[in-house]
Structure 1
């Protein structure tokens, strides 16, 4: 797992997996809103020690999935369609701003973007779970090209949630999704290298809008199944 997707938990595969699972369960409402979560609950349920349990709760609080109660316990916060809209609006803002900055640069290095795309293409036929990880990384490489560390830091803060939403959305994708998605990312890459800024920005806007629609459809489906 890419380190920036799990932050302080990246050195522990078990803790990273637990964090992903809990985040996904909160979004899907397997943990209903206002469910109390404590270090002890996490230790017992997921067979982890106190330190990673504390780190997981802190990370979830940083991401807005849990909030602190007066007694020091934490409770889950409902993830709404408005939250989803805000997430994808921020993603679009960050990436569009980064792409504009890339076009302003006289000297550009495409190596990281090309490497990310090659991994993405190969994983589309091998590991579907890892595919989403490198989908996030492909866009990370584009923002990295801007040279703006603050935009990159902001993207890394939302990358874990985007990764989880990609996993959730997988259930509504058609069988040919991965081939089509690789071609979409190929167009994004070519638009940066070969097309005008206007054409490139239009491609990214289109891609982000499609991803947001898929994520919203997946969230609605999950919520409906809970009723």
Structure 2
């Protein structure tokens, strides 16, 4: 098993470093859903004292990645059906709005940026580098939101996409080829400047992703 890197030697704010690394390990499945996370264990994993670990645990608890349970302490949260349904309900509203606005506001440089993300994702999918595919999945969605030019959408989406990444990563091997085909349709509609088509493509993508996430027999996003 590959040894997890420590971050005790980093010179940036330790709490922020621990927070980013703890969140990444949960999202990537290094710490599994339901797994107990003690302060001592995390401090040893990260090569830091317990104080920044304690602070980071408070943040990921607020974000919904960790639960504090009686007599067990901190455990990695579970992506249950209610959590997933709620996530996709919000995604549908935000992403259809963002895609429609992006179709109206995207510049040629914006379209080139989206096309480059699609190309990178195609290469990562072909290479079966699903950690990279998951990163690019979030990057594409966040790029569309940024291109929409609506700062409220950007603000509301920033925390949510850690969870989008988490859900995608769980089933990335099965879902990735389907997801990127749907992304191409979204980007094509944005490039054409067709607000209605972009919103429709985004909605169909989120609906397909939700069905996949809620049905273990269906590919996931």
TM-score grouping bracket, smaller chain normalisation = 0.7 to 0.9
Match of 2:135 in 1: 133
Match of 2:201 in 1: 203
Match of 2:61 in 1: 61
Q: 1:193 to 1:143 in 2, by over 3 A?
A: same
Q: Which runs of 5+ in 1 are unaligned?
A: 1-7, 222-227
Match of 2:174 in 1: 172
The farther-off stretch of 56-65 and 77-86 is 56-65
Inter-partner Cα distance in structure 2 for 1:91 and 1:75: 26
Match of 1:184 in 2: 182
Q: 1:78 to 1:220 in 2, by over 3 A?
A: farther
Deviation per CA, 1:99-153, whole angstroms, max 9, x where unpaired? 34345x5x54252453243133134324432122111111111111222212111
Contact 1:68 1:74 in 2 (8 A): yes
| Equivalent residues in 2 for 1:22-41, closer than 5 Å | 22-23=26-27, 29-31=33-35, 35=36, 37-41=37-41
Match of 1:121 in 2: 119
Inter-partner Cα distance in structure 2 for 1:208 and 1:215: 10
Query: Could you state the TM-score of these two structures normalised by the residue count of structure 1?
Result: 0.71
Q: 1:80 to 1:220 in 2, by over 3 A?
A: farther
Deviation per CA, 1:165-215, whole angstroms, max 9, x where unpaired? 111112434xxx53x543322211111121632222211111111111222
| Equivalent residues in 2 for 1:102-113, closer than 5 Å | 102=102, 105=104, 108-113=106-111
Inter-partner Cα distance in structure 2 for 1:82 and 1:219: 18
Match of 2:85 in 1: 85
Contact 1:100 1:197 in 2 (8 A): yes
Residues paired across the two proteins, number: 201
Contact 1:20 1:164 in 2 (8 A): no
The farther-off stretch of 123-132 and 18-27 is 18-27
Match of 1:4 in 2: none
Contact 2:92 2:203 in 1 (8 A): yes
Q: Which runs of 5+ in 2 are unaligned?
A: 1-12
- Give the superposition deviation at 1:82: 0.9
